[in-house]
Structure 1
Amino acid sequence: MAQQKKLHVKKGDQVRVIAGKSKGLEGKIIQVFPDDEKVIVEGVNRVKKHTKVQQAQRGGTTGGIVTQEAPIHVSNVALLVEVEKDGKKQKVTTRVGYNRVEVQKRRPDGSTYTGFRSVRIARKTGEEI
């Protein structure tokens, strides 16, 4: 059994496609498949899927040609962050790093203690994502 790989992006992240037929397009991650190392990005890698006509409940029929997003490999996307440049906000791609931050944690009995939590940071800006 192969170990599940930790991906540099999560569901809801804004990304830009950096390789493939959809190169340059931007979108939000809809779904993540860590086992296959693939992600589905909104509006990217759209394919036509032919679905069989089936009798739906209450006499309706479904089927025909449906356009939907197909998964792309996680290595083909880069995380987008907003950077202020010359007084204007721009979206730029960045790599992802991890930092250990000290936080206050609470036990079930109400007492608190200090612990560590891993947070994602943007390599270009150093800010927490």
Structure 2
Amino acid sequence: MNAKAEAGATGLDTVKLVAAASVLVVGLWGFYFFASYSLLLRVIALLALSGGAVAIALTSLPGRQLWRFGVDSRMEVRKVVWPTRQETVQTTLIVIVMVLILGILLWLFDMVLMSILRFLTGQGG
């Protein structure tokens, strides 16, 4: 690995992230400050400022690392062998049946323990 690849965030990256956060805060403030204006215009302006904030953040080292992580994650998801519809239905049914069986067993176990407790404490006839 070269030193440049392992270098941490610089001061300029911090400034970029602060600027992106500032743009986002200004956008949110403006959205509520201009409440008398059309909702459509305010939403469009908020989306535009949010997009600008994301664009600024993506120019920093942490932003580029986040983008790279997203690209790598998408590549890994493409490698996954997804189950067929039939496999999914069968697995779901097995889980449902097992949950029902376990629920019934726990209910019976609870009834037996409650009967023993009532017998030991002399309650319930």
TM (norm. structure 1) is 0.27
Bigger relative contact order (CA 8 A; separation at least 6): 2
Asked which structure has the greater CA Rg, the reply is: 2
**Normalized per residue, which structure has more strand?**
1
**Normalized per residue, which structure has more helix?**
2
TM (norm. structure 2) is 0.27
